[in-house]
Structure 1
């Protein structure tokens, strides 16, 4: 009887092993398919410190659904662009394509360098590094290219100077993602942007946790520093800080329109927080 039970248990183990192997084979086949999809969607990059452009750029999901199809857009330095559209239409995906974090097809022109004189990317969720307060401002630099007094002025410019006193100056080490609110983290990352002073800043809903006053001040500071903005946003009042609107329809189509001076003045006066979907 014992031998029969052992035989039955062995059969169950073999069946389980076969089932697991089948799932592993299916997973390997799926991974191969995904690698083929990624390999087929490699954009061509050209580098220009004064221009950003998309030529025949197509961005799709891994399921091959269009996010944007055959996008053609040139962004000269000094001509900021606001990107709008329904949720999930590919606004953030396009920005990730721009900085090399998402695969697409077509030709993308952008500055080659990151940071000063080049390109800088600010995601919606601010990235706080392990280290002291100075490290948060100068990241990804290891050594500061500015004096502590100059860095403090950047904190004040981003309206986040209170953290300097609150956390014991530049050498204070904290778990910054926990001790700072989302809005404080976003303002601190703008101090980081001002430190690096790029030609172009890609803002992926980078002020979503801020009130309108702080939001408007930060956008104004960017323009005063001659930083050209490529922004994903959902508030009509932010149109006043841009020159072009790129709107996605959620079906792979898009529309590019200019933002008139009259519209900018109207947005500035009304200061409405309305969705741009």
Structure 2
């Protein structure tokens, strides 16, 4: 049975949290103090739990420098989110929306572990033992997929099959997405899942500083999201056969790719041979092949037309147990159970997809 998305927020109760100017100013000041005292070190605590099948955020504050200077020292602080807490469980999915420049992608990267400036705790699924590190508990899809050197089979099974020398390229690409020259985070650290508070249901949770009021957004997860490969987390998977790869290519609307390029063992400059839309479809194929416990998609279908995007998200909804997306198109609402709206200045609002759609209809005058 699906548990609700739980939210420990400031200023709960359905109000627009952009009105909490004093709270936002206090949160920004606290963020500046945090940066100054931390000396620019990584301060978002990140843990993994082998029993977790979703995502836990506890009092997450995400900040990024927006002024001159190297690193964080002396740089102006831009507050992306403050006091953001939620629990996302199997069968639930979160769509992050908001105006351009509000920090949606940076917030996503902070949650996924690619950006670490701020405070609070992120708990992610992890492998049960060091021997299980071949499994894929968490999968991240950027807007522009990484295409390593190698044949077509390598492209389709990345990062599970990386040729010699390509791992260094992959690490450099990951550091580029992370915006740091520092060491990559160790996502295999295993600690017990931190307890998350729960409270009576309340719609329209808003947050960003305040009194720490608790609330719960009811679950609206569709029943089919528990099916497919979402229970395996990629553990113990065998290499995919050619037949399985061909089936997956058909699933992601690339049925003729193998014939077009001359076979699975052909090596080409894939970033040039494939359009951005085709690269995004290959990236979704990798996600489906890996079958992770939790997936992050940062505008990962932005180059696709509406019908193709809908088809791919339909597959993701059925086969991936829990996922978080950044996107702009309203049609994505039908493929997510909840919406996190970034309001700017560290403010945010958490709704079910139905509640968000209802609010948007009223705001645009489409609701009777």
Quick one: distance in 1 between partners of 2:146 and 2:85? 31
The CA distance in 2 between the partners of 1:148 and 1:219, in whole Å, is: 24
Q: Which stretches of structure 1, 4 residues or more, deviate above 3 A after TM superposition?
A: 33-37, 113-117, 261-264
2:77 corresponds, among 56, 64, 67, to 64
2:47–2:122: 8 Å Cα contact kept in structure 1? yes
Q: Could you list the per-position Cα deviations for residues 27-71 of structure 1 after superposition, in whole angstroms to 9, with x for gaps in the alignment?
A: xxxxxx999543152424242431201111000012322111111
User: CA RMSD for the aligned pairs?
Assistant: 2.6
Structure-2 residue corresponding to 1:49: 52
Q: CA deviation at 1:76?
A: 0.8
| Aligned-pair CA distance for 1:258 | 0.9
Give the C-alpha shift of residue 117 in structure 1: 5.7
The TM-score normalised by the length of structure 1 is 0.78
Q: Aligned residue pairs: how many?
A: 234
Give yes or no for the alignment of 1:199 onto 2:293. yes
Partners in 1 of 2:153 and 2:282 — Cα distance? 11
Q: 1:88–1:262: structure 2 CA closer, same or farther, 3 Å change rule? A: closer
Q: 1:71 to 1:161 in 2, by over 3 A?
A: same
Q: Secondary structure at the match of 1:39?
A: coil
Does the 8 Å CA contact 1:44/1:105 hold for their aligned counterparts? no
Larger radius of gyration: 1
Q: Does 1:111 align with 2:125?
A: yes
Q: Which of these residues, 250, 258, 270, is aligned with residue 176 of structure 1?
A: 270
Counterpart residue number, 2:346: 252
Aligned match for 2:333, one of 224, 227, 239: 239
Asked whether the 8 Å contact 2:94–2:340 carries over to 1, the reply is: yes
Shift of 1:155: 1.0
Q: Unpaired runs of 5+ in structure 2?
A: 1-34, 66-75, 128-132, 163-237, 362-368
Contact 2:46–2:113 at 8 Å: present in 1 too? no
| Structure 1 residues 169 and 93, CA gap change in structure 2 (3 angstroms) | same
Q: Partners of 2:125 and 2:281 in 1: how far apart?
A: 25
Are the equivalent residues in 2 in contact too, given 1:135–1:142 (CA < 8 A)?
A: yes
- C-alpha distance in 2, partners of 1:262/1:94? 20
**Residues 217-226 or 201-210, more deviating:** 217-226
Shift of 1:91: 1.2
Shift of the 206–90 alpha-carbon distance from structure 1 to 2, 3 Å rule, reads same
Compute the displacement of 1:242 (Å). 0.6
Which residue of structure 2 aligns with residue 84 of structure 1?
Answer: 97
* 1:176-216 C-alpha deviation (Å, 9 max, x unpaired): 00011110110011111111011221110000000001000
Structure-2-length-normalised TM-score? 0.59
Q: 186-195 vs 35-44, which deviates more?
A: 35-44
For 2:252 and 2:40, locate their aligned partners in 1 and report how far apart those are by CA, in whole Å.
39
Q: Mind listing any 5+ residue stretches in structure 1 that lack a counterpart? A: 1-32, 268-277
Structure with higher RCO (Cα < 8 A, 6+ apart): 2
Equivalence for 1:125: 144
Whole-angstrom CA distance in 2 between matches of 1:261 and 1:42 = 30
- Structure 1 contact 207–215 (Cα < 8 Å) conserved: yes
Partners of 2:53 and 2:322 within 8 A in 1: no
Compute the displacement of 1:250 (Å): 1.3
Q: Give runs of aligned pairs for residues 156-235 of structure 1, distance below 5 A.
A: 156-235=250-329
